[in-house]
């Protein structure tokens, strides 16, 4: 593609900033952007309202390491909603449904179900995160869910 996927144009912005705008418009308490590959250029591109940015020094070890990096940045959180930065069509309402689900029933974890299958955002409790970090392999959280 010639440049990082997150920096590709989407609508009037970039893939990442369009995704981030939907997350920031949601009811989540805190927004954490985790950067890894191409961190300098990605971090410089971020247009944010209330998001903080943390760098994942272990990004080459897989996506679970980004989840752990975010959790370490907010160790008091009892749950996390995961939205990859490359989902510019994610709707704020879907994220808010996960926030509402957590407020109502505090599930161990949850995944969003769409007409064509399961996908992000994922919701994971602190207990789910701890199990996922001890589970070997790729796409651990998805497999556990």
pLDDT (tens digit, 0 to 9) for every residue of the chain, 145 residues total? 678 999 999 999 999 999 999 999 999 999 999 999 999 999 999 998 899 999 999 988 878 888 889 999 999 999 999 999 999 999 999 999 999 999 999 999 999 999 999 889 999 999 998 888 777 766 766 667 6
pLDDT score recorded for residue 118: 87
pLDDT score recorded for residue 138: 67
pLDDT score recorded for residue 142: 67
Under a CB-based contact definition with an 8 Å cutoff, are residues 85 and 73 in contact?
Answer: no
Q: Which of 57, 55, 45, 56 is nearest to 20 (CA)?
A: 45
The model carries a pTM of 0.90
What is the Cα–Cα distance from 36 to 101, expressed in whole angstroms?
30
Question: Distances from the Cα of 95 to the Cαs of 13, 23, 62, 72, 101, in angstroms?
Answer: 20, 7, 23, 21, 10
pLDDT score recorded for residue 55: 96
pLDDT, one tens digit per residue, over 102-143 is 999 999 999 999 999 988 999 999 999 888 877 776 676 666
């Amino acid at each position: 593609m010639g440049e990082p996927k997150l920096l590709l144009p989407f609508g009037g912005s970039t893939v990442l900033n369009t995704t981030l705008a939907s997350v920031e418009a949601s009811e989540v308490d805190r927004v954490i952007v985790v950067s890894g590959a191409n961190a300098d250029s990605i971090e410089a591109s971020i247009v944010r309202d209330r998001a903080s940015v943390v760098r994942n020094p272990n990004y080459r070890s897989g996506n679970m390491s980004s989840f752990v990096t975010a959790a370490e940045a907010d160790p008091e959180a009892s749950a996390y909603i995961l939205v990859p930065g490359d989902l510019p069509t994610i709707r704020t309402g879907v994220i808010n449904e996960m926030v509402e689900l957590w407020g109502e029933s505090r599930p161990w974890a949850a995944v969003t179900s769409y007409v064509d299958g399961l996908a992000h955002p994922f919701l994971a409790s602190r207990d789910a995160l701890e199990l996922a970090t001890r589970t070997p392999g790729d796409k651990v959280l998805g497999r556990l869910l």
